[in-house]
Chains A and B, each alone.
Chain A
């Protein structure tokens, strides 16, 4: 027994990886030699583009840098910013869907499906491909040590369904999620390492697809989040979209309305816009340039920084509005903030930096690479979680209130936004009719007063309440938000000895059974994919063998005995059917052909040897 236990221990990596699963780029880090380090294979960047490309020949999807390399040539088969689709019903992401180059639909479970070459993918599965890629990328930097325990970051403002979707993606990727951590909180952890800081810190996290602002108070190694606010649909992608608008406007005369809406065209335009945006962070003006070779159309225009800033000003203003709300929730004035930390690629835009500096009246910190700081913080948290340190503690909050529907469609809030998690709250309810034996519960998330303005998380019924007069039943409803920010609800009737208990997992998303089923089917698919590839390889190989055999046979026919000749011709005839058989049958055909042609090969070898010895040119043999 002891031997087996030892083995288990040996198999588990002593490391845990922190992964920043970003909208545009993803990154992994680990704790090594007393500090967090970004994982990058020798001579390569650690950053993995969050891009998935599906080759037209149906072969394995290309993920990361490789996927991105194919994007320009085949935008119509490439997916960007999958994170924006995570945990969202189709109705909430119509704008996003317009740029998705594949047909989409919504399952009965409310989860989006992308139909790619006849196979359905959920955003969770696509994210899993990216997670696998970034995990592999990181493992290569660890000499192939494979830490399967990971901490994954999400935007602080992600709701329950979006967090759940992220956790499911990790399950599809075969990773063991130690914790889901909020991105700005992770960033603060990375910044707080060097100095013995204490005071109030604002983390302004403007990434590719999401914006978050968190206010933290730091004292004695405890990082306590006071409040968080944000927008899960606001990011650098929107800056690109503003520039894409210029291209669309400029090409309106040359391309049809339909062509201008084509996802392939939009992706190509987006890539041009992104290049221009990056240049504008350094230079006062830049070129917005795009060539559509297939249509013989070229777009070219110079964009000044002032022009760009005017376009994105309303977007920046929305981030400042969130800062105001976060401060108001934390009960702080801008001048009570001791430090401001900048995180995310969009903070490289000078206008963003200027707006933040002017709102808080202080120069924000930009010492750490804004693209790396979240992954570094995730590695710190991973280190704490595997028992590496008790010096620090992160106390995070839930970004949006949780409640139940009450009379008239109003919301009764049980857990308020910005409550420290994990958090348990119990509230008492009762029956409103005589002999009522069941109560319906409708769990929602959001700040609005009415259920219709909030996001439905779950609906369930507590049954088995013993018949009694109205108002006599005592039903305790318990909300538990775990350390990942995920909610579990249970209800129990307490007035009689017999209590009923219902456990509810939020339903907006994949159920556990669905995840299991999809995990299984992806394994089956992987086998299927492998078989298809193997068959294709065999068909090619048999084809080459046939051609070679037929060509050589003519020259040496007279040197072969009749039996061998018949044997070869039989095998050749059989191989002709090698166009659509399954891999097993193909393998048999190939092996048979190889066996039958062995004497021929020997003869040829011999002939070649003879020719060489007699000074003949090989071609004459």
Chain B
């Protein structure tokens, strides 16, 4: 573990020192996990991540360095990196996406071959959702769409579990598991698009009432 160039204290994060409360120069390409003092892994403790985020924010937030332009600029950059890292790690889907990228796995658009059965499933929801969107609030097509939600949620959980299995422990660069994981991830994106659509229908339904 590195130590603080100012006070010598051991560093929890390369972004700054908790002992002398100063932001430190850091490469902008440092991995989000490293910024949080964590080893890259798909399974993480979300509560721990958020706790560290608040703790580090209190050390290096630009609000505390407004009087010194140089420190302020550094604090601004580092807090930007910290918050950007939180965005990539907090949500499982984005975390998986990040891990696939750093392991050299295929990108979202490079894996287009989704299983036939899954595509049929997608077509079915789309039809239900299309009808619901065209229908008035409180009508049967809307009800039918809302009935989709539990099964979509269930399928999402199952696929995230599959992804966890594939990424835990982290596969080697270039391994087949990365491609399979990307395919699963793409499936979850389809699911999320449908779930988002359902949420906006739910809000529209509440607005109509």
Contacts and interface: CB of A to CB of B under 8 A. Distances in A.
Interface of A: 178-179, 219-220, 222, 224, 317, 321, 324-325, 328, 381, 384-387, 390, 393-395, 415-416, 419-426, 478, 480-483
Contacts of A419: 83, 87
9 contacts: A178-B66, A179-B63, A385-B63, A395-B61, A421-B83, A424-B28, A424-B81, A483-B62, A483-B63
A88 B86 CA distance: 32
B46 interface: no
Nearest to B94: A416
B62 A395 contact: no
B189 interface: no
Contact of A424 (B64, B67, B77): B77
A395 B57 contact: yes
Given A393-B58, A481-B80, A420 B86 contact: yes
B79 interface: yes
A416 B90 CA distance: 13
Nearest to A321: B207
A394 B199 contact: no
Interface in B41-61: 54, 57-58, 61
A581 B192 CA distance: 75
Interface string B187-209: 00000000000010001001100
Contact of B76 (A317, A384, A385, A483): A483
Given A317-B207, A324-B203, A420-B83, A393 B66 contact: no
B54 A480 contact: no
A358 B143 CA distance: 25
Contacts of B81: 424
B140 interface: no
A422 B80 contact: yes
Contact of B87 (A387, A423, A478): A423
Contacts of B206: 321, 324
A425 B87 contact: yes
Return the 5 tightest CB-CB contacts between A and B, nearest first.
A424-B80, A422-B80, A385-B66, A423-B83, A424-B84
B34 to A, nearest CB: 15
Interface residues of B, number: 23
A222 B63 contact: no
B66 A387 contact: yes
Contacts of B58: 222, 390, 393
A456 B62 CA distance: 28
A324 B66 contact: no
B207 A416 contact: no
B66 A424 contact: no
A420 B57 CA distance: 11
A291 to B, nearest CB: 41
Nearest to B80: A424
Nearest to A421: B83
Nearest to A359: B206
A422 B87 contact: no
A481 B66 CA distance: 17
Among A324, A480, A483, the most chain B Cβ lie within 10 Å of the Cβ of A483
A390 B61 CA distance: 10
A483 B66 CA distance: 11
B64 A422 contact: no
A321 B203 contact: yes
Given A384-B64, A386-B66, A419-B87, 9 more contacts: A179-B66, A325-B203, A328-B199, A387-B64, A420-B83, A422-B80, A423-B84, A423-B87, A483-B79
Contacts of A422: 62, 76, 79-80, 83
A480 B80 contact: yes
A325 B64 CA distance: 32
A324 B207 contact: yes
A415 B87 CA distance: 9
Interface in B73-102: 76-77, 79-81, 83-84, 86-87
A425 B84 contact: yes
A188 to B, nearest CB: 15
B67 A386 contact: yes
Nearest to B207: A321
B204 to A, nearest CB: 9
A419 B76 CA distance: 15
Nearest to A219: B54
Contacts of B76: 422, 482-483
Given A224-B54, A328-B203, A483-B76, A424 B63 contact: no
Nearest to B66: A385
A482 B207 CA distance: 34
Nearest to A478: B28
A422 B72 CA distance: 12
A328 B86 CA distance: 20
Nearest to B54: A222
B17 to A, nearest CB: 15
A508 to B, nearest CB: 22
**For B66, B77, B199, which residue has the most chain A Cβ atoms within 10 angstroms?**
B66
A424 B203 contact: no
Contacts of B54: 219-220, 222, 224, 395
A222 B203 contact: no
A317 to B, nearest CB: 7
Given A224-B54, A422-B79, A425-B87, A384 B63 contact: yes
Nearest to B62: A483
Nearest to B204: A321
Nearest to B79: A422
A390 B64 CA distance: 7
A346 B106 CA distance: 53
A570 to B, nearest CB: 63
A420 B84 CA distance: 8
A68 to B, nearest CB: 35
A381 B63 CA distance: 9
Given A424-B81, A483-B76, A416 B63 contact: no
B65 to A, nearest CB: 9
Nearest to A420: B83
A170 B86 CA distance: 32
B190 to A, nearest CB: 15
A416 B87 contact: yes
B130 to A, nearest CB: 16
